[in-house]
Amino acid sequence: MGSSSTRLSARDTLPGSHIRIWELDLARNQKAAIALNVVALPLFAVFGWIFLKLAAVIRPEIVTRLFLDRITPNPSIFFLIFLTVVVGTMVVHEAIHGVFFWLFTRSRPVFGVKLLFAYAGAPEWYIPRNQYALIGIAPFVLITVAGFAIVAWAPLAPGQLALFGITMNAAGAVGDFYVSAKVMLQLRDVLIQDTGVGFTMYGPTEGEQ
């Protein structure tokens, strides 16, 4: 059985007992990157419906068309606001990944942007299963909680923007959901190396399990 230190702490060297058991490189596998973006579209509708229902309970007026009616006469302002929310949400999402990478490795993470996605990673580290799953879902959880706090307490227009932002963030987290679920289905002793654009999972050989 693998040691408890392998399960509990990130490492900068791969144990000799571990071999590569799965990998996904979104930079080289464009089909996978496109597929994740395609899946995000129905997820946007699903999360949008769920979040609208929750928002209507928390603050019924948040689901009115007041904000849209106000900006419709000036499409350029609408586009600027839309772009700001999209970019801002993406930056915060990756920053949260980065903070959690740092918490578990005490090493500066890497950040970048590709054509189809933005990313954060810790390419020099091998991270245990549970820690890695937490890194993966942290942006979804924290941004959703913060967004609903804004929905509940902020003025109406910022609340509606926050509702859109958390919906977009939830849909955009499809890759995080997929990789986190893949990781959690493995043995506790697996280690994950995340370059930001690629994920490699290492597990113990049969004699070490």
Give the tens place of pLDDT for each residue, 115-170. Answer: 768 899 999 999 999 999 999 999 999 999 999 999 999 998 889 999 999 999 99
Handedness of CA 23, 29, 30, 34 (dihedral sign): negative
Torsion of CA 25, 28, 29, 34, to 10 degrees: 100
Q: Pick the closest to residue 10 from 108, 131, 133 (CA basis).
A: 131
DSSP assignments along 90-149, one per residue: HHHHHHHHHHHHHHHH-S--EEEE-SS-EEEEEEEEEEEHHHHHHHHHHHHHHHHHHHHH
In the prediction, which pLDDT does 1 show?
Answer: 43
Q: Decide: residue 4, CB within 10 A, 0-12 exposed, 13-18 middle, 19+ buried.
A: exposed
Residue 175 has pLDDT above 50, yes or no: yes
Q: In this structure, are residues 146 and 23 in contact, taking their beta carbons and an 8 Å threshold?
A: no
Which strands make up the sheet holding 198-204, listed edge to edge?
Answer: 18-25, 198-204, 191-194, 118-128, 110-113
In the prediction, which pLDDT does 129 show?
Answer: 96
Q: Where are the domains of the chain?
A: 4-208
In the prediction, which pLDDT does 2 show?
Answer: 47
Return the higher-pLDDT residue of 37 and 174. 174
The model carries a pTM of 0.89
Give strand pairing partners of 203: 19
Give the tens place of pLDDT for each residue, 23-47. Answer: 999 888 889 888 988 999 999 999 9
Return the higher-pLDDT residue of 140 and 207. 140
State the average pLDDT for the chain.
89
CA distance 179 to 181: 5
Give the tens place of pLDDT for each residue, 62-105. Answer: 887 666 566 656 677 778 888 999 999 999 999 999 999 999 99
Q: Pick the closest to residue 55 from 144, 122, 128, 141 (CA basis).
A: 144
Return the higher-pLDDT residue of 74 and 203. 203
DSSP assignments along 20-79, one per residue: EEEEEETTT-HHHHHHHHHHHHHHHHHHHHHHHHHHHHH-GGGGSSHHHHHHTT-HHHHH
In the prediction, which pLDDT does 208 show?
Answer: 53
